[in-house]
Amino acid sequence: MAVPSPSAPAQPLAHSRPWYRQLYVRVLAAIVTGALTGWLWPSAGAAMEPVGTTFVAAVKMLITPIVFLTVVTGIGNADSLGRVGRVGLKSLVCFQAGTLAALVVGLVAANAFRPGAGVHAHPGDLRLGGAAARYVKAAEGQSHWHFLTDLVPSSPVGAFADGNILQVIFFSVLFGVALKAVGPVGEPLLDGANRLSTVIFKILHYVMLAAPVGAFGAMAYTVGAYGVSTLTGLGRLLALCYGTSAFFVIVVLGGVTALLRINVFRLLRYLREEFLLVVGTSSSESALPGLMAKLRGLGIRRDIVGLTVPTGYSFNLDGSSIYLSLAALYIAQATDTPLDLGRQCGLLAAMILTSKGSGGVTGAGFIALAATLTSVGTVPAAGIMLIFGIDKFLSECRALTNLVGNSVATLVVARWEGAFDADHARQVLCGERPPAEAATSIRSGEPGENRAAPTFTKP
């Protein structure tokens, strides 16, 4: 499809396929059908667990090679290693600012609405058991600096086999830097990595054809196993978590995108397929490849996307930060544990560290909460049993907010690098211009050709 000339009035792009064949429509229909199945036939819904977990496992199978190839090709195709280091440093600054803002917003909301007031749960009556006890045990083995001590894998193969994204990123950065440093000697390997990316994305295309089936199975299991009644007992906390996250996305992140001259609602609509995958599968990893492709479709450089997005899955967890502050204060209020300003600041300092490096770990948010309460000691760790029943539903809120936070952080880093064309991005978001690089590559199986990519010059 031809790109409209600057002098011609912008015309909306026609859809390449009917609306009912769009991936997000099929996934949405599967989510609704799965929820109804779990509600009307709970036993049948609970039996659908293998369907959802199999699809998520198939996506996770491709996450580590996609992260590795994206980081390596991003660094290898960069102009210089200095640019790579600069992008990495700016990404970490943005991540820390986002985490701090999310934690503060969560603390303010918990103090203002006090969702745990009136519960009066006695800490001595709370007993840890089952999966909750396992999460607390896992948290007890973590130090505040676990994201640094666990950064280096014992072997590259082990990092890929375990699916540890943080360790894969570490090895990928070293490999990409070495590949760039050796110059012409590494060019055949870089060309091979670019070609292998095409094959991996083609495999991902095949896997994503089953996305509606996976979303149906995961949603049917969630509603069938946990039941709608699970939501009513802790409805205040659940509503506050979703409401606070919505406020953070619309007001805080929306204010950031407004400074970039981007409408946050158009950005959310642009990422609708990724959001539905997260809701349907309860896994943020299922949306990682699509998110990277969509951001490259806005004209953001390959090296910025390749470094910022995967790293953000471990270091830029805005939704998890909101959850940590809300849940910690809910437990304190529910157990009548007094927390003055000083103690809340102590919790805030601990959560800044415990929220890092947990991306891609099953029950990551719950483990981070247990680690925070265990390390600080001012709030009884056994209180996590009060919210364990709805953690499955809170995890989706965390994942959705994390997804938006990583998207906005990538836009900020691109703008900071002088490599963001807001006019081009707005036209893509409005459907007036095709993506700079095939944002639909997951469906087509092609990585894109940068035909419409704008050219940037560093100011």
Structure tokens at 141: 């083995």
Q: Read off the DSSP letter of residue 453.
A: P
pLDDT score of 188: 87
Provide the pLDDT for residue 231. Answer: 58
Can you read off the two tokens belonging to residue 272?
Answer: 């609708």
- Across the chain, which has 459 residues, the per-10-residue mean pLDDT values are 40 50 76 85 84 79 81 76 82 89 92 80 53 51 55 76 75 85 85 86 81 82 69 74 94 94 92 85 77 89 85 83 88 82 82 64 64 72 71 81 92 90 88 65 46 40
Q: What is the pLDDT of residue 358?
A: 52
pLDDT given for residue 263 in this prediction: 92
Residue 103 corresponds to which amino acid?
L
Given this model, what pLDDT does residue 243 score? 93
Whole-angstrom distance, CA of residue 274 vs CA of residue 426: 19
Structural contact between residues 204 and 277, judged by C-beta atoms closer than 8 angstroms: no
Ranges of each domain in the chain: 19-444
Task: Name the DSSP letter for residue 248.
Answer: I
pLDDT of residue 137: 54
Q: What is the pLDDT of residue 262?
A: 92
Nearest alpha-carbon partner for 215 in 274, 275, 281: 281
Give the separation between CA 185 and CA 50, rounded to whole angstroms.
46
Provide DSSP, 24-79.
HHHHHHHHHHHHHHHHH-HHHHHTTHHHHHHHHHHHHHHHHHHHHHHHHHHHHTSS
Which amino acid, one-letter code, is at 315? F
* pLDDT value at residue 443: 47
Residue 8 falls in which region: left (phi positive, over 0), alpha (psi -120 to 50) or beta: beta
Q: What is the dihedral of CA 99, 104, 110, 113, to 10 degrees?
A: -130
Four-point Cα dihedral 137, 138, 144, 147, nearest 10? 180
What pLDDT is attached to residue 21? Answer: 66
Residue 397 in tokens: 């809120």
What is the spatial distance between Cα 175 and Cα 198, in angstroms, rounded to a whole number? 20
Fold (CATH) for 19-444: Proton glutamate symport protein (1.10.3860)
Taking a C-beta distance cutoff of 8 angstroms, is the pair 285, 59 a contact?
A: yes
CA 240 distance to own-chain centroid: 20
Q: How far is it between the farthest Cα atoms of the chain?
A: 72
Identify the burial level of 4 via C-beta atoms within 10 angstroms of its C-beta, where 0-12 means exposed, 13-18 middle and 19 or more buried: middle
Helix axes 211-226, 49-76, angle to 10 degrees: 130
